[in-house]
Amino acid sequence: MAAVSACSSDTDEPDRAAEVEARLQTVIQKYDVRAVDPTTLGAPSIDDPLSQLGKKLFFSKALSGDQDTACASCHHPSLGGGDDLSLPIGVDAVDPDLLGPGRRHQSSAEHWDGGPTVPRNSPTVFNFILYEKTVFHDGRIEVVADGIRTPNSSFGTADPHAGESLAAAQARFPVTSAEEMRGFHFAANEGDDARLLLGARLRGEDGELDQVAVDNWAAEFAAVYGAETQPVVSYQRVAAAIAAYENSQLFIDNPWFRYLNGDRHALSLSAKRGAILFNTPAADGGAGCTSCHSGPAMTDESFHVLAMPQIGRGKGDDENLRGDHGRYRESHLPEDKYAFRTPSLLNVSETGPYSHAGAYADLESVVRHHLDPLNALENYDIRQLDGEGIQSESLMYTAEESILQLETLRAEDKSKLPQVQLDDGQVADLIAFLQALTDPCVQDRDCVSKWIPGPEDTDPDQLRLVAKDRDGELL
């Protein structure tokens, strides 16, 4: 550790600053650290007609069975592309338009057990286009040899209906989940496909939307796709439009990338020291973060056991039924039990709470968990979270199981989580670096407003989510 910790105490002496700068340049050369190159991505513009159609669909509650939830209910651009909650509440909210802390579930609703109804944290959809291989915390949508695998095809096998991109494939699933969007009555019979029924709804075939709404959607889709092909409105097209909207959400103009692209003044001294730690392998005296948060998007898109606290409903794994086995649920490989996908860290200061179950409220606690998972679990305090009734019965059980799993993997040399010790100054430096991964646009309501339907946009079905926070402020 000596090489790195030598510079952790704070000083702004010019020669010290020059030394840190020189060491960071060496690290960048040596480990070939790069910024995301937007020219290779082919991201659509938010101004494209398809993205604009996607924006309206993303905000329409018509895509939920009971017309109370939109994609934006859990992925709002004003909330960093997420929902600002540990665990989401989708359908049956007391006030469907209230997002973030204060969003509550109706106590009278069926299937409610007192806590959040969705078992995993809602990830940001910002920069989703940077994921090239795996989707979701467990990768149950992923690129396979001959296409894209989804929950509708068996492990390792392409789903012929997945669509053109990971985003399009993903957009076919939230509407099938009872807790997220479908509700408990719509498409509730075996064999029902919520997507076919929603396509039919938008075409006016189930009588749920009035004729004006049906005509409006027909006109909106025809303007993009032409009126020739029938049906003009289908869920396949809904998914493609939402995918274009999501893939236009590229927010990568952050200080770190500016620095990598040549702006030597973009980073504070502390962030530079954090960048050295982050990008230097543990074997070379660094914090070893890039053994998993690798590449420009800072994710290997692979799965690792970190034993982060398991709170909430879980996925029904383990005998107490509130566990979540993560990647193991898909791969059934013993080493994947409790493994979750490495998330991208771009804009991470704006995307909390953190981890697959949203167990950590702030960056410091989630970073410290990496450094000493056992100690973090032993001292874990759920009161750091703002959420009512978050289930935590399985916390101790899963903590023991997942720590055991991590220790076993470490003993077999199958864990990539290095055992490093950092002092408080170094942790502060790492956090300063993580904060330099935020594009200022995502902190600015005016800047993200292009991705939020406004008065200038048509509202085809009058079911647009106009979201507010618990103080009644417009999001």
Q: What are phi and psi of 360, to 5 degrees?
A: -110, 130
Strand, helix or coil at 59?
Answer: coil
> Where do we find the tokens 């909430």?
312
Task: Determine the Cα–Cα distance for residues 34 and 43; give it in Å rounded to an integer.
Answer: 19
Exposed / middle / buried, residue 402 (Cβ in 10 Å: 0-12, 13-18, 19+): buried
**Closest to ligand HEC by CB, 18 or 185:** 185
Which of residues 33, 308, 406, 467 is near ligand HEC by CB under 6 A? 308
The count of residues in the chain is 475
**Closest to ligand HEC by CB, 216 or 291:** 291
Q: Is 370 in the site for ligand HEC (CB under 6 A)?
A: yes
Amino acid at 104: R
Which of residues 99, 171, 232, 403 is near ligand HEC by CB under 6 A? 171
Q: Is 123 in the site for ligand HEC (CB under 6 A)?
A: yes
Give the residue from 190, 242, 238, 240 showing the smallest Cα distance to 217: 238
Which of residues 180, 301, 350, 401 is near ligand HEC by CB under 6 A? 180
**Closest to ligand HEC by CB, 135 or 214:** 135
Residues from 326 through 365 that contact ligand HEC (CB under 6 A): 340, 342-343, 345, 348, 351, 354-356, 363
Give least dist CB 18 to ligand HEC, A. 25
Give least dist CB 373 to ligand HEC, A. 10
Which of residues 23, 76, 137, 313 is near ligand HEC by CB under 6 A? 137
**Closest to ligand HEC by CB, 54 or 208:** 54
Record the tokens describing residue 107, joined without a space.
């106590």
Give the residue from 56, 178, 71, 73 showing the smallest Cα distance to 117: 178
Q: Is 272 in the site for ligand HEC (CB under 6 A)?
A: no
**Closest to ligand HEC by CB, 12 or 412:** 412
CB 90 within 8 A of CB 179: yes
Give the residue from 439, 453, 438, 347 showing the smallest Cα distance to 51: 453
Task: Determine the Cα–Cα distance for residues 170 and 178; give it in Å rounded to an integer.
Answer: 16
CB 461 within 8 A of CB 60: yes
Which of residues 44, 65, 80, 88 is near ligand HEC by CB under 6 A? 88
Exposed / middle / buried, residue 258 (Cβ in 10 Å: 0-12, 13-18, 19+): middle
Number of residues that bind ligand HEC (CB under 6 A): 54
Q: Is 292 in the site for ligand HEC (CB under 6 A)?
A: yes
> Helices 424-435 & 363-371, crossing angle to 10 degrees?
130
Give least dist CB 374 to ligand HEC, A. 15
Residues in contact with ligand HEC by the rule CB under 6 A = 63, 69, 71, 73-75, 88, 90, 118, 120, 122-123, 125, 128, 135-138, 167, 170-171, 174-175, 180-181, 242, 246, 278, 287-289, 291-293, 304, 306, 308, 340, 342-343, 345, 348, 351, 354-356, 363, 366-367, 370, 416-417, 430, 434
